Amino acid sequence: MTRFRKDQIFFVNKRDDGSSDLYSLFDYKDFREKMDLEKAYLQGRFDAVPYINEFENI
* Per-run averaged pLDDT (10 residues), the chain, 58 residues: 79 87 84 78 77 59
pTM for the predicted model, two decimal places: 0.61
CA nearest to 46, candidates 12, 7, 1: 12
Instruction: Note whether 45 and 54 are within 8 A (CB).
Output: no
Instruction: Note whether 8 and 21 are within 8 A (CB).
Output: no
**R_g of the chain, CA atoms, integer Å:** 13
